[in-house]
Amino acid sequence: MPESRVPRRRRFLVCEPRHFAVQYAINPWMRPDVPVDVSLAQAQWHELIGVYRTHGHTVDTVEPVPGLPDMVFAANAAVVVGGRVFGSLFKAPERRPESLPYDTWFKSAGHDVYRPESVCEGEGDFVPAGRWILAGTGFRTTREAHREAQEYLGVPVIGLTLTDPYFYHLDTALFVLDDEGEGNIAYYPEAFSPGSREVLARLYPDAVLATREDATAFGLNSVCDGRHVFISPGATALAEQLADRGYVPVPVDLSEFHKAGGGIKCCTQEIRS
């Protein structure tokens, strides 16, 4: 029998997809010629928020800004550890203006906000995992930003190199299952350089390894509360592995957001106090 997993209540920050669209292409998923069904996107997003709330999580919202179609991807705006907010400096000029409304929200919620000097995209590439932060580089966030984050947050930052443009942010290739004790993660090894794969195998000998099918279904762009895994319904093999280990997969379909290269985790910023 798998052990019984205990959830921990989370605080999330999200942004309604009122102005969501695919108007430019900054990752291989984005096709400005393929239309987005805006009302379906809205319905899918509201479903996600409802599911978080029924599972006991707190959800705060940032007011969306017209002309910022990717602002719905709240995870990219910052990484918050111990109440300290390490802001973002987006690589794409189209996304740079997103930082201001998010920084303003955090400041009005009483947080200090660090403004980085190097390109970095919040929880897209910084994945807090208990004793350390796993940090992606290769497409967006720079090594220099890893150093800045470690200095500001005072938490060891472990750099990992991403090599597949479809998995351009760390949170498209890896998510945290447990952030206490030894901790554990699920990931898609082929998204990483050989050395980074070795690092992950050393840190997490018992990790859940996902297939390319799971990864392209955005299965690794999941949110886990320690028990429930809010996961894309297309990641069937991964969901089965998780269930075998005592987690409870909760499928939520964000298919309209996949057209922009995002899924559940991208839409969800976690505020860790």
**How many residues sit close enough to ligand ARG to count as binding (CB under 6 A)?**
16
92, 89, 71, 86: which is closest to 127 by C-alpha?
A: 86
Distance CA 66, CA 80 (A): 25
Pick out residues in 63-122 that bind ligand ARG (CB under 6 A).
70, 73, 75-76, 95
Cβ-proximal residue to ligand ARG, closest one: 266
The span of 44-52, 81-89, 188-196, 260-268 binding ligand ARG (CB under 6 A) equals 260-268
Instruction: For residue 73, give both structure tokens.
Output: 């991807």
CA-to-CA separations, 2 to 9, 187, 227, 246, 248, in angstroms, rounded: 22, 20, 12, 5, 11
Task: Say whether residue 159 binds ligand ARG (CB under 6 A).
Answer: no
Query: Considering the complex, what minimum distance in angstroms separates the CB of residue 245 from ligand ARG?
Result: 24
Q: Select from 27, 163, 193, 236 the one that contacts ligand ARG (CB under 6 A).
A: 27
Active site residues per annotation: 169, 266
Task: Say whether residue 171 binds ligand ARG (CB under 6 A).
Answer: yes
146, 214, 152: which is closest to 186 by C-alpha?
A: 214
Residue 16 · residue 45 · CB < 8 Å: yes
Write out the DSSP string of 15-49.
E--TT----S-SSTT--TTSPP-HHHHHHHHHHHH
The span of 2-10, 22-30, 40-48, 142-150 binding ligand ARG (CB under 6 A) equals 22-30
Q: Select from 81, 186, 235, 260 the one that contacts ligand ARG (CB under 6 A).
A: 260
Which residues have a Cβ under 8 Å from the Cβ of 271 and sit 6 or more positions away?
Answer: 11, 12, 13, 60, 80
Instruction: For residue 221, give both structure tokens.
Output: 């762009």
Task: Say whether residue 258 binds ligand ARG (CB under 6 A).
Answer: no
Instruction: For residue 8, give both structure tokens.
Output: 């921990």
| Chain centroid, CA 239 distance in Å | 18
Residue 204 · residue 249 · CB < 8 Å: no
Which residue, 5 or 90, is less far from ligand ARG as judged by CB?
A: 90
Task: Say whether residue 145 binds ligand ARG (CB under 6 A).
Answer: no
- Per-residue mark of binding to ligand ARG, 209-248 (x: CB under 6 A): ----------------------------------------
The span of 6-14, 23-31, 111-119, 237-245 binding ligand ARG (CB under 6 A) equals 23-31
Task: List interacting residues with ligand ARG (CB under 6 A).
Answer: 26-27, 30, 70, 73, 75-76, 95, 124, 169, 171-172, 260-262, 266
